[in-house]
Amino acid sequence: MKNRENYRKERIDRCIKARSDDIYALSSYKEMWYLIFPRVVPIIGIAILAYFLPLYWKKVVITTCIFAMLAVSWDFLSSCGLLSLGQALFFGIGSYTAGCLNHYFHFPIYLTIPIATICGGFISTILLLPVIRLRGIYFAMVTLILPLMLARGIEATHVFGGNEGITGLSPFPNVWVELTFIIAGMWAALFALRRFISSDYGLIFVSIRDNDRATMASGINIYAFKAQALFIGSSICAFCGAFMTHLYMFTGIPVFTMEFSILPIAASAIGGIGTLAGPLLGAFILVPLSEILREFGSLRVVFYGLVLVVCVVALPEGIFHYLSRKYNEMERWVRLE
């Protein structure tokens, strides 16, 4: 330890420094590294991890990526003032769309997934359009109830395979394709959304959450924007649903289970709401954790819940907020003249 007598603690905000003098940032490798580091390390880290892990854990990585995308989508919707308790709705619609196209019309994978992504987003938006004027918890209630209704509806009417669902759908060629596909999709969704939401157009979505009345008094048709946000958010979930359908070669009522709605919210809560990257981080903590805890049997839920509570109590702002603050706001000791 240094002798602190001749030193003073200095706090510098590296974020502002690197951003404000961008010519400096471009000319200095150190500053460039500072900006690139937090993006490159997770990307390379997950790629390496996915490559070396045994097959069982490769599958866990895939599931994690799916939940991470659901969480990022949830956070995007909440950033636009749309509180969703029904990611399972979007997920399930994507899954059933892909499943039906594959089973009834024999569409190949490379067609079902893109079509299910777009159509899933479209159908979800149409379904929620009548309630898009509802705010906060009232909108949330509807999103919570719709997947349950669809599941019971399919059960009762025996459409799309009814209770048994549809089995024997086309699989991916091998696990490498699965991994590459979902990891690439996840990063694409994250970086595209982060860029989108900080653009002048994306800014309007954030303003709706901040104050929808002031946004209307700024001459913005908030319902048109909310519909667009819904489409973007639900398309991402529909993509996950379609992907999972081919992964398990199955679609059925389980795709509407609450887990797909609740886990993304938990991941966002511990990761940091409103950052998009935080929820992804949260999913990468919660999903593997849940796998590790499997050997504890019934105690699994207890430990799982404990971790959740500790995270939320210790870091109410979310892990990502905490990390990015520590990273940007570096403290150092400087010698007094």
Binding footprint of another protein on the chain (CB under 8 A): 199-201, 203-204, 206-207, 209-211, 213-222, 274
Q: For residue 255, give every residue at least 6 positions away whose Cβ sits within 8 Å of its Cβ, in sequence order, or none.
A: 88, 91, 92, 95, 96, 241, 244, 245
Handedness of CA 93, 94, 99, 105 (dihedral sign): positive
CB of 31 to another protein, least distance (A): 20
Residue placing its CB nearer to another protein in the complex, 207 or 245: 207
Task: Report how far residue 70's alpha carbon sits from residue 185's, in angstroms, rounded to the nearest whole number.
Answer: 12
CB of 109 to another protein, least distance (A): 36
Residue placing its CB nearer to another protein in the complex, 92 or 271: 271
CB of 101 to another protein, least distance (A): 35
Residue placing its CB nearer to another protein in the complex, 167 or 218: 218
- The length of the chain in residues reads 337
CB of 269 to another protein, least distance (A): 18
Residue placing its CB nearer to another protein in the complex, 217 or 336: 217
Task: Report how far residue 18's alpha carbon sits from residue 265's, in angstroms, rounded to the nearest whole number.
Answer: 33
Q: Look-up: residue for tokens 């995007």?
A: 76
CB of 29 to another protein, least distance (A): 28
Q: Are 238 and 93 in contact (CB under 8 A)?
A: yes
Task: Report how far residue 41's alpha carbon sits from residue 48's, in angstroms, rounded to the nearest whole number.
Answer: 10
Q: For residue 168, give every residue at least 6 positions away whose Cβ sits within 8 Å of its Cβ, in sequence order, or none.
A: 103, 249
Residue placing its CB nearer to another protein in the complex, 187 or 225: 225
